[in-house]
Amino acid sequence: MAGDEMSRIPSYEDEQTLREKLRDISLEHWVHEDLFSFNWWLLLAASILPFFIWWRLVDKCRLFEIVTFGLICAIFACFLDVVGVSFLLWGYPDKLFHFIQPLVPADFVVIPVSGMLIYQYFSTWKSYAAAAVGLGILFAYIIEPLFSLLDLFVLIHWKHTYSFIGFILFFLGIRLLMMGLKSAAKK
């Protein structure tokens, strides 16, 4: 009987049972290990402080355009993060919120704020591409290893070099999309 049970395709109910168990384990871990720890406070600060810096630097005359760029960055960063976590390419041992897998400060704050700043300050493709490479180096070879050291980020089936290439393509692709949207809006 056990062999028959193991050979059947898992049902939706089987998935739900595992999700419930994972939810309960995740909440227990978060309450006892993450909440109010040093890493939790670091994640909270990383979720708030960049916006204060950004608000002082943002060109208020182009606010709508720049915020649109940032929102596109956040949407794509979150989507890519969900895919990476789901395929077990990387993971986040410590979380700001137990019910959100992606790293909220990175996907919704640091990556979009950094993207908005290079979008604002580097108007030519050449200068923007150089800034995108700079961000790729910063994120892949400095921030990711630092977050790995602090146990905020774990590489499973991934390498920092993949992130480096990914960040460059990410920022170039978002700018290309933004330029296409601006061109379509003018017509």
- Reply yes or no on whether the pLDDT at 42 is more than 70: yes
- What pLDDT score does 99 carry? 83
Q: What global pTM score does this model have?
A: 0.89
Single-letter code of the amino acid located at 6 = M
Give percent of the chain with pLDDT exceeding 70.
96
Average pLDDT over residues 157-171: 98
Average pLDDT over residues 157-177: 98
- What pLDDT score does 103 carry? 80
Structure tokens at 172: 């170039």
pLDDT in tens, 97-137: 988 876 889 999 999 999 999 999 999 999 999 999 999 99
On whether the CB atoms of residues 157 and 89 are closer than 8 A, the answer is: yes
Rg (CA), the chain: 19
d(CA 144, CA 132): 16
Structure-token match 């939706």, residue found: 12
